[in-house]
Structure 1
Amino acid sequence: MGDFYASKDFRGWNKALERFRLQAKSEYRIRLEASIDVARLLLYHGLPFRGHGESEASTNQSYFLGFLRWHGDKHPDVEKVILEKAPQNDTLTCPIIQKDIVNACEKETLKVIIEDLNGDHFGILVDESKDISHNRTNGSCFEKEIYSLLSDHSLSPSKIRGQGYDGVSNMKGEINGLKTLIMKDSSSAYYSHCFAHQLQLTLVVIAKKHLEVEEFFDHVTNVLNVVGGSFKRRDLLRHHQAENLKQLLESGEAYTEQGLHQERGLQRPGDTRWGSHFKTLDNFLVIFSFIVHVFEVIEIEGSTPSDRNQAEYLLTKVKTILDVESVGHVK
């Protein structure tokens, strides 16, 4: 009789565990589908996933968390199992999960494009950027990656009938540029300069007809070249930013939250990049006091008289042009 009751209790526990497992599986699927829906919406509209505030209590959340909460508000069955109501080790909202969803969307999109292509001729558009070490890629690297991608999808380079890039040398160079390397294998892969880049180049040329504008950007570019000319100077800039942020946090003038206080870099304006001049100036103004600090160090500790004189000259010119003599001493 004891064995009978023990067996009955065991079957009861099994049923309870199975119900719990099915419920957990259902809630997991709801959370996953909600995260996928939000990711697809952001991708469709070309919106960033992350923002200035990543915590759930933030009033300036990222688009991903903000839209996910909005999605839950509209669907009670979703709202009951997402964000703070989800198991904290299974929220399906971390950056790694977001990237996995994006990668899956990318593969499905490529699959549809390849099926629609159906073995026909095609064109390629490629853009380039510097990596974190500030080293640019070269034409042969791009060629290798392009051919690898084509091979993965059973596409032949001989089917390329058009190629479009920006105007930098590693793309359109006559000897080792990507354009030339591609045309060696497919002579019908005609090159066309990116039209948006042409418009930007026209705008830049017209703007620089004004000598004051050209002089201003020349000095800004020279300043960025000097500060970014060595790892030691870039490290000094980062260190000064970190020290300043530490002081602000200790004084209560700033607060910590994931996504806040991102490091500002030394982005140079690119004549073929929409908005790059604005971003350059925005970063330049924000970190100007730190740039001043680096130049003050160079003026004293520069390895050659030329370095010290250049630092003094450029700093004076930029302060005069911007009319911000006091910025270098303001946080």
Structure 2
Amino acid sequence: MKPKQHISAAIEKQYEQAKNNYQIHLTATIDCIIFLLRHGLAFCGNDEIYDSVNQGNFLELLNFLAQHNEEIDRAFKIARGNLKLRAFSIQKDIVRAAASETTKAIVNDLGDELFAVLVDEARDISIKEQMSVCLRDMLRDSQMTKTIKALQSGEISSGCGLNQEIALKRARDTRWGSHYGTILRLISLFPSVVNVLEYVEEDGNNSEQRAKACHLLNVIQSFEFIFNLHLMKNILGVTNELSQALQKNDQDIVNAIAFVKVSKQRL
């Protein structure tokens, strides 16, 4: 007799409201995760209980959104605890989805172009070795073009073991040999590095990226930078030879002292 008051109508109304609340929760959660991923920030905090002073970046950001958006705040207040999409497992699922979409975008952008993957490690603040992976395609392509031209003009020779790919690597804090190697690679790749920075300066994804590229171009092409680069190459070249000599297992103290004296004279 009264269709609007029928049990099926009431259930349908509750279902629509629950679906809308779920979409609000999901959208807010995804927005927070995208923000944290773009800025490389940690998600979890040391203490994520309800009355904690700092619940971690994810929960604090989600609460901030709720405080400044009445619709999100209302949806959070009427939802049960297991429907707020705050669980760590849900965060991981959304991060995996974002990683998958990012990978697809990178693959589609590269197409058939040449690329290389650089895997390097560096120590963090806790003195643990952390692995970092970055994609390099423009630098390798630029260096390859220059190598081909140099081979054709006779500036460099071809042969077994020659003209191997050279890549810029992160110098390690306590290994001076790695600093020396980084300087040598930078000198060798300098024209390609300039070309890549000029490309980013013109066609970078955003103004911040273009500004950083412009600043780096000005710095690395200055007289002070070039002078210090070659000065450190000479200094570290001497200390690197000494370091290699001292690390030999059959090295004795007499030879070691002689090597130190020679290195001091060369410096």
Query: Which TM bucket (shorter chain)?
Result: 0.3 to 0.5
Larger RCO, structures 1/2 (Cα 8 Å, 6+ apart): 1
